[in-house]
Amino acid sequence: MSLLGIVHSSGHITDNIIHVDLEQYNSFEICSAFLIITPDSHAILDCGTSNDVPTLLTYLTSKHQISLKKIKYLIPTHYHFDHFGGGWSLWNQIKEYNPDVKILTTSKTKKQLQDPELHMKRAYRTFGKMIGEMRSIPDKAFKIVNPNEEVLLPGFTDTQSLSLVPSPGHCEDHVCPTLFDHQKTEFMFLGEAAGTRMHSQNLLTLGTSMPPEFNYATYIQSLEHLIELNPMNIGLGHFGVIKGTDNTLKLMKKNLEFTHRFRTYVKEKFEEKNETRWIVEQFIENELEGRVETSKTDMRFLTRIIVALVYGQLIDLGFRDPR
Ligand SMILES: [Zn+2]
């Protein structure tokens, strides 16, 4: 672990939490999932695309001897293909071991998971075949909870609880599954609520966007609320873990600043020249330093991400129509 509390490797974060690099798109450090452990039960948080589910299950069972019978809940941060696109496959596989396993989520995410066609069509345009397969999930797979409702996992101590903290902005249904202990925020899975980390040595992040869903106002509001919860440890969907409240707050506050600056940047560039591709090129040329390790990054992949960021922002600014 670095001085800034940055953890990239798969493994235990605390006694109760395991971090998993899903090795998404056959690369390391793209997408994270987590496991919450109690003596009596487990919950899996996110699972990646349908292609990532075997990686996740092999890692948990062979490295940590996790019994699939004890998996009680599968919990998505949001419905996007890269975070819970493989949810249907995971549920199908786990129910062979535990017929009562449920996808624990809100009614908003359930609705999206049951109707993934338009999302997959849009995602395919940007990411092609890498998105795997998403299938509609039947009603009986779900246990619906309200945002912030207290969820008790069998085996929790008297002082532990779990809830899905609402964090819309990246998309409307986004939540942060959060483990509380002694009224402190022990671990918060941020999903995409505080940006994407593309630098291994510092706490600076890029934005997150899957056009046309990004909403600046709610994103900012959500992030301000998450900061108030003072998490001791955070997990990021993309990617890894930050330990220590000083570090977690620094990352989240820096992302808040970045999100504001990025919006201003896109707006100013748009006024200079109404051309998405040009704005993307300008951003890549001038704004990545210290934020993205370009030498370690597949530039084609990065460009797709920046296109999504810029385009998402342009739609939210009202400068482009959602397609
Ligand atoms: Zn997403």
Q: What is the pLDDT of residues 35-74, one digit of tens each?
A: 999 999 999 999 999 999 999 999 999 999 999 999 999 9
| pTM of the predicted model as reported, rounded to 2 decimal places | 0.96
Reading the block at residue 29, the tokens are 């450090």
Whole-number Å distance, alpha carbon 263 to ligand 1 midpoint, is 18
**Where are the domains positioned within the chain?**
6-261
Q: What percent of the chain has pLDDT over 70?
A: 99
Whole-number Å distance, alpha carbon 182 to ligand 1 midpoint, is 31
> What number does CATH give the domain 6-261?
3.60.15.10
Closest CA to 25 of 81, 77, 78, 79: 81
Whole-number Å distance, alpha carbon 207 to ligand 1 midpoint, is 11
| Cα 116 to Cα 114: distance, rounded to the nearest angstrom | 6
Strand, coil or helix: what is 214? coil
Q: What is the pLDDT of residues 270-281, one digit of tens each?
A: 999 999 999 999
Counting other chains too, the contacts that 48-51 makes at CB distance below 8 Å and 24 or more residues apart are 48/22, 48/24, 48/82, 48/83, 48/85, 48/86, 49/24, 49/81, 49/82, 49/85, 49/86, 49/130, 49/131, 49/132, 50/85, 50/86, 50/88, 50/89, 50/132, 50/133, 50/134, 51/24, 51/86, 51/132
Q: What is the pLDDT of residues 141-158, one digit of tens each?
A: 999 999 999 999 999 999
Ligand 1 is an ion; its neighbours by CB within 5 Å are 80, 192, 210
Is residue 163 within 8 Å of 182, Cβ to Cβ?
A: no
Pinpoint the alpha helices (H) of 43-86.
53-58, 64, 81-84
Which residue reads 């998490």 in tokens?
A: 231
Whole-number Å distance, alpha carbon 155 to ligand 1 midpoint, is 31
pLDDT grade for 298, boundaries at 50, 70 and 90: confident
- β 233-236/32-37 pair status: unpaired
pLDDT grade for 128, boundaries at 50, 70 and 90: confident
Whole-number Å distance, alpha carbon 44 to ligand 1 midpoint, is 17
Residue 1 pLDDT exceeds 70: no
Whole-number Å distance, alpha carbon 203 to ligand 1 midpoint, is 20
Whole-number Å distance, alpha carbon 171 to ligand 1 midpoint, is 7
